[in-house]
Amino acid sequence: IVNHECKFVAKMRNSTLILIAVVMTVCIFANVTGVTRCKGKPKDSKCAGNLDGGNNRKSKCKKSANKNMWHYNTRTKNCTQFNYLGCGGNNNRWCTKALCEACRRPR
């Protein structure tokens, strides 16, 4: 009976380790790729356009506001963080610095 219990505990530990590894992999993938939900993300981000924080004239704008958006500056070839107010603006708006920096690479 003791041997059987030890095997059962060992299997549970292995299952727990596998589950932890899967969860960590998903979290890392989501953070690296920027797949996580991003308020204020345009449907089709573009690498060109002046920094435009949009506006918050309507109450619905608050739902899309995001203080952590990134803008690609075509002149300096750098990304800067800015506060998106939730409505309007242009499509030069990125959810992560890594996604914004992809504008540096030739397409």
pLDDT at residue 43 tops 80: yes
pLDDT of the residue at 32: 58
71-102: pLDDT as tens digits: 999 999 999 999 999 999 999 999 999 999 99
Per-residue pLDDT at 19: 74
CA distance 46 to 58: 25
Per-residue pLDDT band for 2 (boundaries 50, 70, 90) equals low
What does the pLDDT look like over 53-79, one tens digit per residue?
999 999 999 999 999 999 999 999 999
Q: 3-class DSSP state for residue 58?
A: coil
> Rounded distance, CA 44 to CA 90, Å?
10
